[in-house]
Amino acid sequence: MDFNLNEEQEMLRKMARDFLTTESPKSLVREMVEDDKGHSEILWQRMAELGWMGLAFPEEYGATGGSFLDLAVLLEEMGRACLPGPFFSSIVLGGMTLMEAGSEEQKQRFLPLLAEGKVILTLAILEEDGQYDPKSVKLTANAEGSDYVLHGTKMFVPDAAVADYIICVARTGGSGSSGITLFLVDAKSQGLSLSPFITLAGDKQYRITWDGVRVPGENILGEKDNGWIYIEKVLQKAVVGLCAMMVGGAQQTLEMTVDYAKERKQFGRPIGSFQIIQHHCTDMATDMDGARFITYQAAWKLSEGLPCIKDISIAKLWTGEAFRRMTSLAVQVHGTLGWMDDHDVPFYYKRAKAWELWLGGADFHQDVVATEMGL
Amino acid sequence: MDFVFTPEQERFRAEIREFLEKEIPPEFRRKPENNWIRGFCPELSRKLGQKGWIGLAWPKKYGGQEKSYMDRLVLTEELVCSGAPVFSHWFGDRQVGPAILAHGTEEQKQKFLTGITRGEIQFGVGMSEPEAGSDLASLQLRAIEEGDHFTINGQKVWTSGIHNAHYIYMVARTDPDTPKHRGISELVVDVNLPGITIRPLKDMTGEYDLNEVFFDNVKAPLDSLIGEKNHGWYQIAEQLDFERSGVERLMSNYPLLRDTVEYVRKAGLNKVDWIRRKLAQLEAEFEVGRLLVYRVAWMLSQGKVPNYEAAMAKGYGTAFEQRLSNAITQILGMYGQIADDSEDIPLIGRAVSAYLYCPAYTLQGGTSEILKGIVATRGLGLPTK
Ligand SMILES: Cc1cc2nc3c(=O)[nH]c(=O)nc-3n(C[C@H](O)[C@H](O)[C@H](O)COP(=O)(O)OP(=O)(O)OC[C@H]3O[C@@H](n4cnc5c(N)ncnc54)[C@H](O)[C@@H]3O)c2cc1C
């Protein structure tokens, strides 16, 4: 047993922390929340130069060939920094789908571009009911000659306005998990229209209407009618990746709060000397360590290729709630100062809620855990 | 023992409901949560004033109705639960009026109480300062008596709605040389006096309800003083109890709960076990909270002074409000993080607004930590040291 990261991972963490502290300061995060697209091309290119986009893809595609655990370390730092932009959409959601489902030829063509940051991907799964359930996939793809024509609506698609390609989870037959096909769709295709949502955390999500979007059959990822098994795998990775981001956000939340409890004086003493504030901080620290260990256990198992469906869902349901509880306490310990828009605490308060709900909330993951328990 | 309202009170409730049906302007109906503190609508306050529904329990000679605090409870419950935008008279009715009634001069009562009951005078409350939040007695803003006026210098912060108010009801240090609790006085100051600058602050919901208020050599007449000079600290304890004890501490989000139940039913989510349980649990917690709030009003109506009871009701109620907003975002799933207020978004983003607003409940009017201390020491007699 070893709870530590290895030396390279520690170096990666340090490098990422230093880089993001200077290149993705809160002023940029704030600017990107206000921005229509929420994407800084300069920052994106710099991250690409550092090799971050290709960190977890194999070397044969011009990438670094790191492990999923390495990627988790990087994502943790991104969560800590509230990094804006499409990294998660493009690399985790899009890139992992390409890796899982793409043909050798498709991988050869797209992964090097992805690793260089020259192509941005996103993944469109959810529809009106917002459920991660194959039965909820209703958008239709009908064959016309060697093409497919897509009709329907996708919801909550992240970063779609900056994506070059959207991977669309479409129905080609059946009604459950069979009959689902993945299409790699040029985002500039005719018949595809985006409308932005106003989101809680200021991240960019879109409703996409597909009104007869024509896609060549060669753009299918994986086999026709067999797409959902890939989505299940991608979702597992994405969930752990998101947990890692939450761990980073939670760590920053804890540190800020403990620092403030030491500094802020009321009644002639630091508020951190009051037992109730100590208890708040202790509860936060316990949530923090729990979230970190449960997340890294899942990340490590994934990295090692061990079975971990239950671990992943436990990680999400624990970490989502823990991060949310921590951010509520963070506001409380900061007093009204921590509720104000120009403070950093609200960034974490908002993301914690958004991420708790994204990729399956506690109810969804409790169900998975119960099933895995044989219930 | 009896847990019902009298037939007159039920008639009163029906009358208020009917009035509000007609009188709440449509722009405040779409998002009814928190309108007691966010909904500024002097027209409605004036109409409520004409009905005699401001200062309901105050003496008739100041425009009150000499009704009981249970009647006032019925009234405020209807106002809060209907989402009536009543902020413009809320502070006057809830705490400033009772404070002036208890400590003001006859002239002050005539002027301010009458103005409040007519819905014509709006107050802000200036207590907190950058270095004096929970530890209010360490406040530094000074009001020094010089001839026929007080000269005021210093800063207040987190002052709700002061940008719409006529007066600031404030606490100031009038004797800098005595120990901190003893040199404090209460003042009512015209916010349009020269030397007062108001700077709006944006909170995490994106709104500008709170402000900083700067006082730079402001000269306020001597009759700004409420009650006895240097006795303010002992006067405000009661005001804080009034501030804490109301239904708004439990019911600010009541419309959201009611409409979520309706939405869940319509969307067929009422078959989903965990959603049923969540809503049932909230309902149970709400009913308990209601009794904690009713107890305070009942005590007041019996001429008793609530002590730790107001602190308990506020602590419980505001924690409930947070659980409520959290649970509803979860019930809505991905829609629980969409803030669009278009009609095709379930509950038009109200759950997001509630979730962003709710940290404020356990801070404003005394933080939950301070309130727990009050219950423990004043209520249970536990030692302070
Ligand atoms: C929406 C809103 C509206 C408001 N409106 C007004 C207004 O109109 N006028 C006004 O004057 N103020 C207003 N306030 C301010 C509010 O009253 C103060 O923020 C509150 O009293 C807490 O002060 P603080 O923010 O400085 O926190 P602090 O006092 O610095 O507290 C920070 C943390 O330390 C804890 N703490 C402090 N002392 C102790 C202790 N002895 N034991 C245990 N824990 C302790 C607190 O509970 C809190 O968790 C408003 C606040 C909000 C959120």
Q: What is the pLDDT of residues B102-140, one digit of tens each?
A: 999 999 999 999 999 999 999 999 999 999 999 999 999
pLDDT > 70: percent of chain B: 100
A275 lines ligand 1 (CB under 6 A): no
Cβ contact, residue pair A332, B368, below 8 Å: yes
What is the distance between the alpha carbons of residues A356 and B355, in angstroms, rounded to a whole number? 13
- pLDDT of B107 reads 98
Task: Give residue-wise pLDDT tens across range B210-235.
Answer: 999 999 999 999 999 999 999 999 99
B129 lies in the same domain as B224 = yes
- pLDDT of B245 reads 76
Is B256 within the bounds of a domain?
A: yes
B265 lies in the same domain as B165 = no
Provide the domain limits for residue B52. 7-121
CATH number at residue B18: 1.10.540.10
Closest CA in chain A for residue B180: A267
B93 lies in the same domain as B186 = no
Nearest to A339 among B203, B335, B338 (CB): B203
Mean pLDDT of chain A: 97
Task: Give residue-wise pLDDT tens across range A197-220.
Answer: 999 999 999 999 999 999 999 999
Residue pointed to by tokens 């989000």: B253
Q: Is A70:A55 a contact under the CB 8 Å cutoff?
A: yes
Is B372 within the bounds of a domain?
A: yes
Mean pLDDT of chain B: 95
Residue type, B230: N
- pLDDT of A74 reads 98
Number of domains in chain B: 3
B268 lies in the same domain as B338 = yes
Query: At which of B84, B105, B121 does a domain end?
Result: B121
**What tokens does B179 get?**
């120990």
CATH number at residue B194: 2.40.110.10
B197 lies in the same domain as B312 = no
Of B9, B88, B206, nearest in space to A341 by CA? B206
Is B237 within the bounds of a domain?
A: no
B200 lies in the same domain as B293 = no
CATH number at residue B340: 1.20.140.10
Cβ contact, residue pair A350, B356, below 8 Å: yes
B226 lies in the same domain as B249 = no
A281 in B contact zone (CB under 8 Å): no
- pLDDT of B348 reads 96
Is B384 within the bounds of a domain?
A: no
Is 90 exceeded by the pLDDT of residue A62? no
pLDDT class for A284, splitting at 50, 70, 90?
A: very high
pLDDT class for B324, splitting at 50, 70, 90?
A: very high
Is B362 within the bounds of a domain?
A: yes
Is 90 exceeded by the pLDDT of residue B305? no
Q: What is the pTM of this model?
A: 0.96
What is the distance between the alpha carbons of residues B328 and B260, in angstroms, rounded to a whole number? 7
- pLDDT of A183 reads 98
Query: At which of B98, B121, B144 does a domain end?
Result: B121
Task: Give residue-wise pLDDT tens across range B127-183.
Answer: 999 999 999 999 999 999 999 999 999 999 999 999 999 999 999 999 999 888 899
B106 lies in the same domain as B23 = yes
**What tokens does B113 get?**
């109480």
Q: Which domains does chain A have, with CATH numbers?
A: 7-119 (1.10.540.10), 122-226 (2.40.110.10), 229-372 (1.20.140.10)
B223 lies in the same domain as B250 = no
B208 lies in the same domain as B299 = no
Closest CA in chain A for residue B207: A341
Query: At which of B199, B230, B261 does a domain end?
Result: B230
Closest CA in chain A for residue B134: A266
What is the distance between the alpha carbons of residues B255 and B340, in angstroms, rounded to a whole number? 18
Picking from B205, B334, B384 by the largest number of A CB atoms within 10 A of its own CB, the best residue to mutate is B334
Residues in a beta bridge with A155: none
Is B260 within the bounds of a domain?
A: yes
pLDDT class for B249, splitting at 50, 70, 90?
A: very high
Average pLDDT over residues A246-272: 98
Task: Give residue-wise pLDDT tens across range B364-373.
Answer: 999 999 999 9
Which segments of chain A are extended strands (E)?
121-124, 140-144, 147-158, 165-171, 180-186, 192-196, 205-216, 220-221, 265-266, 269-270
B36 lies in the same domain as B103 = yes
Is B48 within the bounds of a domain?
A: yes
Cβ contact, residue pair B338, A198, below 8 Å: yes
How close B222 comes to chain A (CA, Å)? Answer: 30
B261 lies in the same domain as B170 = no
Task: Give residue-wise pLDDT tens across range A67-109.
Answer: 999 999 999 999 999 999 999 999 999 999 999 999 999 999 9
What is the distance between the alpha carbons of residues B299 and B297, in angstroms, rounded to a whole number? 5
Is B239 within the bounds of a domain?
A: no
Cβ contact, residue pair B359, A362, below 8 Å: no
pLDDT class for A30, splitting at 50, 70, 90?
A: very high
